[in-house]
Amino acid sequence: MKPVILDVDTGIDDALAIAYALNSPELEVIGLTTCFGNAPIESTTRNTLVVLEKLGKMVPVYAGADKQLKGGLKKYPTHVHGEDGLGNQVDRTPEKRAESEGAVDYIINQVIKQPQEITIIAVGPLTNLALAVKKEPEIASLVKEVIIMGGAVFTAGNVTPYSEANIITDPEAADIVFSSGLPVTIVGLDVTMKTLLPREALTDWRDLKRDAAHFFADMTSFYMQSYETHHPGIGGCALHDPLAVGVAIDPSFVKKEEWSVKVVLEGEERGRTIAHTEGGPKIQVCTHVKSETFLKHFLGRIF
Ligand code: RIB
Ligand code: CA
């Protein structure tokens, strides 16, 4: 089993990624760290606790960053994830609370305690990871692997024509992570937009005798409505965050290329991720995905 810290901004596809990871025997999710992004930090932390309760899983949750490294007012994507971050399906206050230790210190302490063992899967803005590597640079050589959902390296963005949501929410954080020497694999829109969950899956989930499956179906239906608005006729939604988990489970789902990656921090292209060969730490960029193989695996594991 691969010990994993899952860094989330629980939103709808984060919730799908949490369920996929917790139902996969290859991974041991030792902790979840939360970040602002799809909703404010209070909501993403609550949502993570709610999802764990719905799944009947006990995993410690550590709250993290509530804002980006460099100024700016965050507008939350309520049109995509709903007012509450889970498609307006939050129906309870979770019984459990987040741990007293913060996300950044948790990441640092676990990586130092288990050198070369921990895989960090980050599927929100990279603020927690950037703060951790700034506070304790040595973790860059102690983490086994960092798999991030973010970026649009050889394709268009989904917030601006240039930038993907996790990166544009905190470009400075992404720039710190990509230039830190952390062993990063980027699972960007280049591949995640090719992993579409079909609407029919929700009917199958609703036929299951599981409260969690019905909750996930209702939540994901909201997400699919948003996709239909922005991509008429798409007939489903992208499995952005679940694919990052999938790459941790089975790297053969994707083809990777080695690049250096810089993040544009100024001007119209702020948040753009540019692959180059002009020196700097090497990053694994996912360029192709076995979409059908991955989707079949995801659907076989999620519930
Ligand atoms: O661009 C998609 C990413 O932004 C996903 O991680 C989604 O949850 C949002 O955080
Ligand atoms: Ca996310």
DSSP-derived secondary structure for 95-141: SS---SS-HHHHHHHHHHHSTTTPEEEE-S-SHHHHHHHHH-GGGGG
Q: What SS3 class is residue 80?
A: helix
Residue 111 CA to its chain's centroid (Å): 19
The rounded percent of the chain whose pLDDT value lies above 70 is 100
Q: What confidence tier does 146 reach under pLDDT thresholds 50, 70, 90? A: very high
Q: 34 CA to middle of ligand 2, Å? A: 10
**What are the sequence ranges of the domains in the chain?**
2-301
**Angle (CA) 208 33 96, round 5°:** 60
Say which ligand is closest to the CA of 164: 1
Q: Can you read off the two tokens belonging to residue 165?
A: 């949501």
Q: What SS3 class is residue 200?
A: helix
| Active-site residue, 240 included | yes
| Ligand 1 neighbour 143 (Cβ under 6 A) | no
Say which ligand is closest to the CA of 80: 1
Q: What confidence tier does 117 reach under pLDDT thresholds 50, 70, 90? A: very high
Q: What SS3 class is residue 27?
A: strand
* Average confidence (pLDDT) over 234-245: 98
Q: Of ligand 1's atoms, which has the minimum distance to the CA of residue 158? A: 1
Q: 81 CA to middle of ligand 1, Å? A: 10
pLDDT in tens, 155-198: 999 999 999 999 999 999 999 999 999 999 999 999 999 999 99
Give the integer Cα–Cα distance in Å for 150 and 273: 9
Give the integer Cα–Cα distance in Å for 73 and 95: 31
Q: Of ligand 1's atoms, which has the minimum distance to the CA of residue 159? A: 1
pLDDT in tens, 3-27: 999 999 999 999 999 999 999 999 9
- Whether the pLDDT of residue 72 is over 80: the answer is no
From residue 133, alpha-carbon distances to 89, 104, 108, 181, 223 in Å are: 35, 9, 8, 10, 33
- Name the residue with tokens 């990624």: 17
Q: What SS3 class is residue 84?
A: coil
Query: Strands 273-276, 236-238: parallel, antiparallel or unpaired by DSSP?
Result: unpaired
Q: 55 CA to middle of ligand 2, Å? A: 18
Q: 10 CA to middle of ligand 1, Å? A: 9
**Angle (CA) 116 49 16, round 5°:** 70
Q: Which pLDDT value is given to residue 74? A: 78
Q: In the 8-state DSSP scheme, what is residue 297?
A: H
| Ligand 1 neighbour 151 (Cβ under 6 A) | no
What is the CATH number assigned to the segment(s) 2-301?
Answer: 3.90.245.10
* Average confidence (pLDDT) over 262-290: 97
The one catalytic residue in 230, 240, 288, 297 is: 240
Residue 142 CA to its chain's centroid (Å): 21
Q: Which pLDDT value is given to residue 73? A: 62
Instruction: Tell me which of 73-77, 120-124, 244-248 is least confident.
Output: 73-77
| Ligand 1 neighbour 165 (Cβ under 6 A) | yes
The residue whose CB lies within 8 Å of the most ligand 1 atoms, and thus the one to mutate among 18, 38, 272, is 38
Q: What confidence tier does 71 reach under pLDDT thresholds 50, 70, 90? A: confident
Give the integer Cα–Cα distance in Å for 209 and 212: 9
**φ/ψ of residue 35, rounded to 5:** -145, 155
| Ligand 1 neighbour 18 (Cβ under 6 A) | no
